[in-house]
């Protein structure tokens, strides 16, 4: 499936409603929180080391979204948290999630020593493990983590 991963500089410029509705129909509220927190300014993915990426089809339709924040739950420095990661149902099993995750991990390497995520989905558990994350990490609000190696210049 042809696609392009782009940094989302301003969420207001992106038509995210379809993904929000789809995610809510699946029982997930985290994309609604993405929109709400962006609106109220509490999380705009705009601090050092933070980013929000979107995956778009050739017509500009948003197929997937995922962000990176400094981990707000950790007291340790150098911990990034994968946030608001969602792939449209019609785009799943096409490698889009893996490419988006790799883009986020590559970006994170310049800012963080490890990346963490929390999920309660068995499908997401399998996805993160298949992409190098370890589970059962005994950290509060974390189900998976990966230690990052700095990118070679």
The number of CA neighbours under 13 Å toward the Cβ of 81 is 22
Q: What is the spatial distance between Cα 106 and Cα 95, in angstroms, rounded to a whole number? A: 16
Tens-place pLDDT, residues 36-81: 999 999 999 999 999 999 999 999 999 999 999 999 988 888 999 9
Tens-place pLDDT, residues 104-129: 999 999 999 999 999 988 888 999 99
Beta bridge partners, 43, equal: none
Model pTM score: 0.92
Tens-place pLDDT, residues 128-151: 999 999 887 777 789 999 999 875
- The residues, ordered by sequence, that sit 6+ positions from 49 with a Cβ below 8 Å of its Cβ are 68, 70, 80, 108, 110, 111, 112
Assigned CATH topology for domain 4-147? Aminopeptidase (3.40.630)
Q: Where exactly are the structural domains of the chain? A: 4-147
The reported pLDDT for the residue numbered 12 is 94
């Amino acid at each position: 499936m042809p696609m392009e991963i782009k940094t989302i500089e301003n969420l207001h410029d992106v038509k995210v409603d379809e993904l929000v509705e789809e995610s809510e129909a699946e029982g997930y509220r985290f994309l609604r929180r993405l929109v709400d927190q962006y609106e109220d300014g509490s999380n705009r993915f705009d601090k050092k080391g933070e980013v929000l990426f979107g995956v778009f089809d050739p017509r500009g339709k948003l197929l997937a979204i995922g962000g990176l924040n400094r981990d707000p739950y950790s007291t340790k420095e150098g911990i990034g948290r994968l946030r608001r990661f969602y792939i449209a149902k019609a785009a799943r099993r096409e490698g889009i999630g893996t490419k988006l995750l790799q883009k986020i991990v590559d970006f994170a390497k310049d800012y963080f020593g490890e990346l963490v995520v929390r999920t309660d989905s068995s499908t997401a558990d399998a996805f993160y493990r298949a992409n190098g994350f370890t589970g059962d990490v005994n950290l509060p609000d974390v189900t998976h983590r990966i230690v990052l190696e700095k990118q070679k210049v």
